[in-house]
Structure 1
């Protein structure tokens, strides 16, 4: 047989083999991507079904796109050569980070040091192209959006909620200044107890249509435009920090009223397009059309890291000042809260500012945090961004040695390794 014929024959066989492999791989991927049985309005938030649900939010709940626009995605340096595993000190001995991720229900982890990606790994059903629910990391993005709107003079942080949204005048937030709203020092009687079915945060889930089932008995599905004005006031609470998800939704309503734009479109125009996002993000929408700024955003791991880089670089992305430098400096330079209501790590003075958690380590480290294990850790002194997207079985952990405290230990272990 002539050499050209042999070559053609081998090439054809190779193509057939490659095609068969591609079909087989596609079939495996399709099986892995199937909606798991039993996933419904009562079960999607919790393990083990949440691991699939958090990466398929547009199939679980109505969502509005946060468009990335047409600009070329802004590259993350060294992403193509970042390690997908490394050894860290864990529980007193060297342990593979991939193993710790599985133990901690981490679906995606991206670490950037000195402007370069040093680690990127995916687990569960998360992929580089697939979005993941951010829960309350959404709040930090809401705060950055508010910073942009305020910089353009469209809101005045010394004015009250009622000044912008008359429908909230008689609510728990009506007389509060926007500055206090951003810091969750408002006077609403909001209760953030995730374990209590009758808490405000769980009744909001039911009213929004985010949660269904027996725990929602007696709560009409009305949406936030009806639910939020009915939340009462606790005047003695005004001026003291207490974590309240509804407060972020109130700020989103203010931003819509002040600009005449839907909240998702504001995030797209003022943040997502300007950080050079790689993919569209999304945000869940309730029955009344309210976009859930307090916890409904879903985005890719890499684009969430771009938000972290925006904060690390004091509001600059590329050559553009996206958020005022003064806003970021205000976040990272605070002395700490004198009335901190939670436990604090030894030697730290935590605080909460503009929908961002201040670690209070004296190094300017700040975090965006969400239930079920979502995190952006920004450490200016170490020039580091660490992003974790997770699917803890319940809001606060739900498994042995899984939760916020262990997550912070993991952050420190990663920092120690890359330093």
Structure 2
């Protein structure tokens, strides 16, 4: 019953516990299934319970992103690494060869597991900074960059916003958005000041109160000083 837009916005309504510190949470059960070589597609398809109707309310659910990958594969008949390599990786001209983590059936783990160097993640951010263009080549449609980085999900008023798989910090101007991963991973894009900041990290305290807000504050200070 969920639309593709619902899933892009993390509004599928599926019941999914994202607590990394709870051994029995859905995200940790998923991690064990991946480590044991099971199918991520099957894991996703088995999640049938709902907390709410699709599109009703935003709730970050990592498995939604893998479902988007399932949709893309079904629509094109091609694997995510093949498509990404052709449409994005090759035009970006990365410095180092990337690789994907796969499940036991060789299917790329789409909600995470894309391994790039920090500088190559910055290239991805630079492409979005430039409206989907890199090195004079259009890689992503301009309309998609604008639509995906506009806060459109039903997040709580006054809290961080969300678009199509992109985060929009509180108080951001149009064109200020970011990708954010666990343990302090960021690609911060500021079209207003013409700055991209990529950060890899291993911060186990990344979910502690105030950590994300402090990181964003520092990114803003850097961007505004350049």
Aligned to 1:287, what secondary structure does the other structure show?
coil
Aligned runs of 1:252-263 on 2, under 5 Å? 252-263=69-80
Shift of residue 416, structure 1, vs aligned partner = 3.7
1:32-84 residue CA offsets vs partner (Å, 9 max, x unmatched): xxxxxxxxxxxxxxxxxxxxxxxxxxxxxxxxxxxxxxxxxxxxxxxxxxxxx
Aligned to 1:278, what secondary structure does the other structure show?
coil
Q: Is 2:14–2:52's contact at 8 Å kept on the other side of the alignment?
A: no
The correspondence for 2:177, drawn from 366, 369, 380, is 366
Structure 2 residue runs without a partner (length 5+): none
Q: Is 1:315–1:325's contact at 8 Å kept on the other side of the alignment?
A: yes
1:275-295 residue CA offsets vs partner (Å, 9 max, x unmatched): 122221111112232211111
Aligned runs of 1:1-400 on 2, under 5 Å? 175-209=1-35, 222-234=38-50, 236-239=52-55, 240-334=57-151, 339-341=154-156, 344=159, 350-359=160-169, 360-393=171-204, 396=207
Shift of residue 312, structure 1, vs aligned partner = 0.5
Shift of residue 367, structure 1, vs aligned partner = 0.3
TM-score by length of 1: 0.50
Q: Is 1:225–1:288's contact at 8 Å kept on the other side of the alignment?
A: no
Give the Cα–Cα distance (whole angstroms) in 1 for the partners of residues 182 and 157 of structure 2.
Answer: 16
Give the Cα–Cα distance (whole angstroms) in 2 for the partners of residues 267 and 179 of structure 1.
Answer: 20
Q: Is 2:147–2:164's contact at 8 Å kept on the other side of the alignment?
A: no
Q: Is 2:150–2:162's contact at 8 Å kept on the other side of the alignment?
A: no
Give the Cα–Cα distance (whole angstroms) in 2 for the partners of residues 197 and 248 of structure 1.
Answer: 22
With a CA cutoff of 8 Å and minimum separation of 6, indicate the structure with the bigger relative contact order: 1
Shift of residue 246, structure 1, vs aligned partner = 0.3
The correspondence for 2:214, drawn from 383, 406, 416, is 406
1:140-199 residue CA offsets vs partner (Å, 9 max, x unmatched): xxxxxxxxxxxxxxxxxxxxxxxxxxxxxxxxxxx2111111111112112211111111
Structure 1 residue runs without a partner (length 5+): 1-174, 210-219, 345-349
